[in-house]
Amino acid sequence: MTSRLRPIARVLALLLAIAVGVACGADTEAPSPSVVPVPTCGGLKIAIDPALPCERLAEIAVAAIGSRAPQQLARGVTAIDVVLATCPRNEIPQQVTCGDAQFAQLVRLTFGPGGNGGPIEQSLIVAIEPVTGAILGIENPLIR
């Protein structure tokens, strides 16, 4: 399969998995953590060669949250937004370590409703270096 068709095949497989999940789990209340929505991609329009594709950035972000905050991922992911932006610096408190990176892919994972006594964060943002895929940090919008 050519490299241009691989991202399309991934998106089609993801859409098929979502459709099957919706059809099979229509009577469930909470979203399944294994069903991940197709990411929306946007932000600055600059060429960073060879930047990782949007779908791969979403995979990296989901894996990072799965290993560092599995209780969040257990709520299910309702949306993934990938935005290229200047790397956030001078945050208080510092949540992202930019180093030499001028830009970062900010991947916002929005979660389903939390249960009683569970996590309350509506979303978390994983900052990823656009070419290497290195995790620069995870931002919690509630901590600013």
Distance CA 125, CA 123 (A): 7
Tokens of 138: 């995870």
Any idea where the domains of the chain sit in the sequence? 5-139
Residues 62 and 37: their CA atoms lie apart, in Å, by 11
- Residue 109's pLDDT is 97
Q: What confidence score (pLDDT) does residue 17 get?
A: 42
Mean pLDDT of 71-92: 93
pLDDT reading at 139 higher than 90: yes
Pairing of strands 123-128, 77-86: unpaired
| The pLDDT of residue 10 is above 70 | no
Q: Which residue has the higher pLDDT, 19 or 43?
A: 43
What are the backbone dihedrals phi and psi of residue 88, each rounded to the nearest 5 degrees, phi first? -70, 120
